[in-house]
Amino acid sequence: MRILVHDHSGHPFQAELSRELARRGHDVTHSYVEGYVSGKGKLEAAPGETITFEGIGGAKLIDNQRMAQRLVRETRRGFELVRHVRRANPDITMMSNVQIPTLVIFALAMAVLRKPWVLWHQDVYAIAVKSFSGSKLPKHFAAVAWAFEVAERWCSRRAAAIVVIASSFVPVHEKWGTADKVTVIPNWAPLDEIVPVDRKNDWATENNVDDVRTLLYSGTLGLKHNPELLVHLAKATADAGQPVRLVVVNSGPAVDVLRAEAERLDVPITLLPFQPYERLPEVLGSGDVLVVLLEKEAGAFSVPSKTLSYLCAGRPVLGLMPAENLASSLVTRAGGLVLPPEGASVAEAGAWLVQVLQDDEMRTELGEASRDLAEQEFALDGCATKFEGLLRTHVRARGTGSSRLS
């Protein structure tokens, strides 16, 4: 098959899936948006690999805070994505993390061209916007949420198939009349790329965090997160008897919030931009405990993929996140702690952190349990086989496939 996988964010496990499909003999193009600032995966073909990686949208950094400009840009990107699909001429396309205006333009064009495509549904944007309207977003965003739901439902109905990352997404598609197209395939993280390393590694030494106890957060910080909780967590840990340095790897407006709150509470903090993907094992290995954040409004429609990378890295994990989230169950199974993402949870979390940070044996056992769970849950072969079968089925159904479907 000729397959195009477009992942707006350029995240690691989507790229790993594309690589595996290419290894299985398929002609795979994997694309992403160059200017989107996030922790990206391995997006260059290694010698001997047959996969093609392409960045679209230009390398200029994107400011997502200006909503009008964002709408225009995402609409334009839809037309660019259509041109990209026509150049690649795949038998089938799979779309992940694509913004709603972009997806609408794309879905309309695919309907006209009669080309099959799969929606890899990572977030239900309509629910996200509705959940935050009146709190983190102005009240008039409720109208935006309604428009997004109409658009997201329309696109879902035009997809040949839908892959969702958790069973909590299924009721949404039942409401939309698209549940018959849905397959649940949980996300994973690349076991062979994100591996446990020594706590005192080169990256830790370069950034002066090799000889201090650290709480580390690496990943995006947006509407679904309260960055101030990280600072309060470090403060509560110190107040409970264990001095600690907060290390945050992120690029965006949350950096200023973190810096100001850390200064106000006199919390030692290291703020660094997103790091090269090949150094991610060292970055995560530099944390004595790795922290996940997720607001309660996001509990059902989002699964923080950083949790999966944390488990691969073999470190204890603390989650301030809704208990019903799929990632919460993974953290709990690995022996980590999950508490509600509220200020009232910070003192309890701080007490647990003191225990973990002061007990080397406990910290080692929790780290090994994290890695063991990742190895049980994140086997690529099974996930890739499910995706391959799904894609092949819908290429054959349309009768548009190349002569080689294997």
CA distance 17 to 385: 10
In this structure, is residue 197 part of a structural domain? no
Which pLDDT does position 66 carry in this prediction? 60
Mean pLDDT of 273-298: 92
At residue 136, the pLDDT reads 58
pLDDT at position 252? 82
In a domain, 193, yes or no: no
Same domain, 167 and 76: yes
Say how far apart CA 17 and CA 120 lie, in whole Å.
Answer: 12
* pLDDT tens digits for range 365-387: 999 999 999 999 998 999 999 99
For residue 255, being part of any structural domain is answered with: yes
Q: 10 Å Cβ neighbour count for 403?
A: 4
Q: What is the pLDDT of residues 12-21, one digit of tens each?
A: 999 999 999 9
Q: In sequence order, what DSSP letters do the residues of 77-97 get, joined into one string?
A: HHHHHHHHHHHH--SEEEEES
Percent of the chain's residues with pLDDT above 70:
90
Kind and range of the H or E run holding 289: strand 289-293
Q: Is residue 196 part of a domain?
A: no
CATH code assigned at 71: 3.40.50.2000
Q: How confident is the model at residue 404 (pLDDT cuts 50, 70, 90)?
A: very low
Q: Do residues 27 and 116 lie in contact, with contact meaning Cβ atoms separated by under 8 Å? A: no
Mean pLDDT to the nearest integer, 220-237 = 89
**What confidence tier does 403 reach under pLDDT thresholds 50, 70, 90?**
very low
Q: Report the amino acid identity of residue 214.
A: T
Whether 63 and 69 have beta carbons less than 8 Å apart is answered as: yes
Domain with 40 in it: 2-188+379-398
User: What three-state secondary structure class fits 252?
Assistant: coil
Say what the pLDDT of residue 375 is. 96
Average pLDDT over residues 358-363: 97
Q: Could you tell me which residue, 139 or 85, shows the higher pLDDT?
A: 85
Each residue's pLDDT tens digit, 212-226: 999 999 988 876 778
* pLDDT score of 263 more than 90: yes
Whether residue 390 lies inside any domain: the answer is: yes
Q: Which of 117, 27, 64 is nearest to 251 (CA)?
A: 64
Local structure of residue 137 (DSSP, 8 states): B
Predicted confidence (pLDDT) at residue 237 exceeds the cutoff of 70: yes
Q: What is the dihedral of CA 8, 11, 14, 20, to 10 degrees?
A: 130
Please state, in angstroms and rounded to a whole number, the distance separating the CA atoms of residues 69 and 76: 11
Query: How far is the C-alpha of 349 from the C-alpha of 238, rounded, in Å?
Result: 12
Q: Taking residues 199-206, what's their average pLDDT? A: 97
Q: Would 152 be classed as within a structural domain?
A: yes
Is 194 within the bounds of a domain?
no
Q: What is the pTM of this model?
A: 0.88
Cβ count near 113 (within 10 Å): 10
Residue 325 corresponds to which tokens in the numbers above?
């989230």
Residue 284 and residue 216 in contact, taking contact as beta carbons nearer than 8 Å: yes
Domain count within the chain: 2
Q: To which H or E segment does residue 31 belong?
A: strand 27-33
The answer to whether residue 404 sits within a structural domain is no
Q: How many C-beta neighbours within 10 Å does residue 112 have?
A: 9
User: What is the rounded average pLDDT for all residues in the chain?
Assistant: 90
pLDDT (0 to 100) of residue 130: 61
